[in-house]
Structure 1
Amino acid sequence: MKLKVCGMKYQENMEAVTGLQPDYLGFIFYEKSPRNFDEEIPKLPATIKKTGVFVDATIGFVVEKVKTYDFKVIQLHGSESSQYCKDLQAELERFSETESTQSIEIWKVFSIKDQFDFEILKAYEGIVDYFLFDTKGKEKGGNGYTFDWSVLNNYPSKTPFVLSGGIGLEEIEKVKEILKTDLPIHAIDVNSKFETAPGLKNIEELKIFKEELNRMREG
């Protein structure tokens, strides 16, 4: 079970979070977000995959950020079509071949409240590497509350997914329960429930959560 910490913004805070060795660090490129990122990223260990988060951005904009920040994961948080994902995949493959770098993952986000039509996913199968399920709310992520995870009991796909949306220390028992199922959960994605301000993470609380996740992995 991998951990992604999303919505990073401040250099010192990034370095502190990096010390906890999450598997992914997320940086949001969306001007309407209070976590919109336009800074430098400090050098990270190779074990941490830098993740660029975009909302209906042009493919050119995404590729430009990949070149600037060396992202290993692109997370699409808008209404991007399967054709967009296919075109982006082709561009990223071209870039990886030219630069002789490892291939770049694509994660497609879908927002859920208390129901979801899983038929929507079929068009994206075989194009994106992972789905990410987040809470449907006013904001594009960082809404601070969970959706009804029982909806995922009907998940019909073998494509692994990332569980996101309002996950904090209070959700540890719920996380333990869902990890006992045979759902193909690849990672847990956390953001606003671990913040003291937008983009500023509470290191002590993240440390507790990471330790709990490690126990789940070992158990």
Structure 2
Amino acid sequence: MIVKVCGMRHPDNIREVEKTGTDWMGFICYERSPRFVSSAPAYLPVRSKRIGVFVNADYQTITTRARELKLDYLQLHGSESPAFCQRLHTEGYKLIKAFSFRKPSELSRTDEYVSYCDYFLFDTPCHGYGGSGQSFDWDILNGYQGNTPFLLSGGIRPESLEALSSFHHPAWAGIDLNSGFETAPAEKDVTALQDFIQQFRLLTNK
């Protein structure tokens, strides 16, 4: 299972979080986010893959930040069209497309993106674009019949282990951790992350 820790910014915190064994680390390139990364941190992860998170950004902005941060994946968290994803995909970028669902009938929104995305990320519906700390009803995802692997996001915190142990889906590929492990925006509680990741690994490696 992939463990992604999102909303990173501070060099020392990035270095320590990388030591927890996180597979992916997310850097938010959305100016209205309290976790916005305005320029490349003095330290960027070497072992963990780098994910850039964008919300309705234009092509030039995305590709410029991808070069600056040497991103492994682009996570598109807004209302980006299938055609826009196709353009990035054709240019060789690996994509994660985020979706928020309120009811099972909305799952079909993923269909047009399948050919261009390596992963989906399913998050809580909210007024902003993620980072709300709110959980959503994962049972909705029982109706997802696609083959594109997905990450669970939205309000995962230390006490979410029991719920995660009860969740099963053949396309489930990992989890996205953010505000549930913060002491302040973009500052992660390394001890809490370390403990959670160890326990999550034990659960999912059974």
Q: Compute the TM-score of the two structures, normalised by the length of structure 1.
A: 0.90
8 Å contact from structure 2 (residues 149, 172) kept in 1: yes
Q: Which runs of 5+ in 1 are unaligned?
A: 94-103
8 Å contact from structure 1 (residues 9, 39) kept in 2: no
Q: Name the structure 2 match of 1:62.
A: 62
The CA RMSD measured in Å over matched residues stands at 1.3
**For 2:78, what is the secondary structure of its paired residue?**
coil
Residue 182 of structure 1 deviates from its aligned partner by: 3.4
Aligned length: 205
One-letter code aligned to 1:214: R
Alignment partner of 1:123 out of 80, 99, 112: 112
Q: Name the structure 1 match of 2:175.
A: 188
Q: Name the structure 1 match of 2:163.
A: 174
Alignment partner of 1:204 out of 158, 166, 191: 191
Whole-angstrom distance in 2 between the partners of 1:43 and 1:147 = 31
Deviations 1:152-209, CA, capped at 9 Å, x for gaps: 111110111011001011111011111xx23311110010010011111011110111
Whole-angstrom distance in 1 between the partners of 2:110 and 2:150 = 11
Whole-angstrom distance in 1 between the partners of 2:30 and 2:179 = 16
Whole-angstrom distance in 1 between the partners of 2:185 and 2:38 = 14
Whole-angstrom distance in 2 between the partners of 1:114 and 1:9 = 34
8 Å contact from structure 1 (residues 25, 51) kept in 2: yes
Whole-angstrom distance in 2 between the partners of 1:114 and 1:174 = 19
- Displaced runs of 4 or more, over 4 A: none
**For 1:126, what is the secondary structure of its paired residue?**
helix
Whole-angstrom distance in 2 between the partners of 1:142 and 1:115 = 22
8 Å contact from structure 2 (residues 101, 107) kept in 1: no
Instruction: Confirm or deny that 1:149 pairs with 2:138.
Output: yes
Whole-angstrom distance in 2 between the partners of 1:82 and 1:20 = 35
Q: Which runs of 5+ in 2 are unaligned?
A: none
Q: Compute the TM-score of the two structures, normalised by the length of structure 2.
A: 0.95
Identity %: 37
